[in-house]
A = this chain, B = another copy of it.
Amino acid sequence: MTSTDPFLAACRGLPHGRTPVWFMRQAGRSLPEYRAVRGEGSILDAIADPSLAAELTLQPVLRYGVDAAILYSDIVVPVSAVGFGVDVRPGVGPVVEQPFADESDLERLRPLEPETDTPYVLEALKILVDESPVPVIGFAGAPFTVASYLIEGSPSRTYGRTKALMSGNPDLWFRLIDRLADLAISSLRSQIDGGAAAVQLFDSWAGALSPAAYERFVQPATRRVFDAVPDVPRIHFGVGTGEILHLMADTGCDVVGVDWRIPIDVARDRLGPDTVLQGNLDPAVCLGSIDVVEAEVADILRRNDGHPGHVFNLGHGVLPETDPAVLEQVVHQVHEMSPNLNSLRNHRMT
């Protein structure tokens, strides 16, 4: 993979031929070939089967022609592997039998030894390094978002217990997210050593926090994670992050994910002209008519205005009920339209 690879070049804001595109949760229930091989068991079991995980990783690459593969895995894999007691319930999300409540629960978060705790991750990567025609993205859950699952015990709308722990016992909070940062670092480093050409840190729910809370309670641990993986492009992702976008951008990441709430041009105005952005089609729009999808894709590319620092993506994961034909069309359209935009931009700049 050279630096003229469109995805890797875009992540660095370097010139390249066309806007790269991939989709969060591109390997998932929206694909019939996924449903055919995946079965009904826990996702953690599927992840623990390296050849299955590699196959699921490659399915959307083959079908859609996306410019990056994201390792088929889950953000709770490291905490689960060290024995915290987490499962991922289909249709619900991560569920924790005994939620994190006090100091004694820190003992349930020992350091991760990737070679022995998650050998299947490294084996899947080994297959993908040989077989993937596009760069493979490794990933981890950001300390805040993983902490929120461990504390709440199940997906939450309010993050009440998490915020109560933060503000009520900041010492314990920082010890918790420091351990989670260490887990993310060990996991990401091993994925990079195993061949991941870029990484994404999922802080999906950070947008639930006020800017002051994010800055004090979350940003330092997140920055420590990014600082530990300087050798590949680092993507930072969350939803509903408009008010903390500048703080999320200021963590050492190379690419800032934006969801559909923030138009690409508005985000770049806010963060500076050189900012590399990933996004931002609303996955729910992909459930509607194809004309509207086309218009939205065109609008995103127009707002990006031919900037080389743009990785096209959805603003959140593919919804299970999405018609794969729609995503196929999106990939086609992004690839077709982006050179025109580049030349338009070049034209205007002369």
Contact = CB atoms under 8 A, between A and B. Distances in A.
Interface in A320-335: 321
A164 B287 contact: yes
Contacts of A321: 160
Number of this chain's copies in the complex:
2
A168 B288 contact: yes
A52 interface: no
A343 interface: no
A167 B285 contact: yes
Interface stretch (A62-70, A195-203, A221-229, A260-268): A260-268
A319 interface: yes
Interface string A282-294: 1111011100100
Contacts of A161: 287
Interface in A132-168: 158-168
> For the complex, would chain A's binding face be called helix, strand, loop or mixed by DSSP majority?
helix
A288 B151 CA distance: 14
B168 A289 contact: yes
B289 A167 contact: yes
A287 B152 CA distance: 13
A279 to B, nearest CB: 11
B168 A292 contact: yes
Contacts of A85: none
Contact of A207 (B162, B240, B263, B287): B240
A74 B209 CA distance: 27
Interface in A277-326: 282-285, 287-289, 292, 299, 316, 319, 321
Contacts of A213: 282
Nearest to A163: B284
Contacts of A242: 242-243, 261
Interface of A: 158-168, 207, 209-213, 240, 242-244, 260-263, 266, 282-285, 287-289, 292, 299, 316, 319, 321
12 contacts: A158-B316, A159-B284, A160-B287, A160-B319, A163-B284, A164-B288, A167-B292, A168-B289, A211-B263, A240-B261, A242-B243, A243-B266
What 4 pairs between A and B have smallest CB-CB spacing? A167-B288, A163-B284, A164-B287, A167-B292
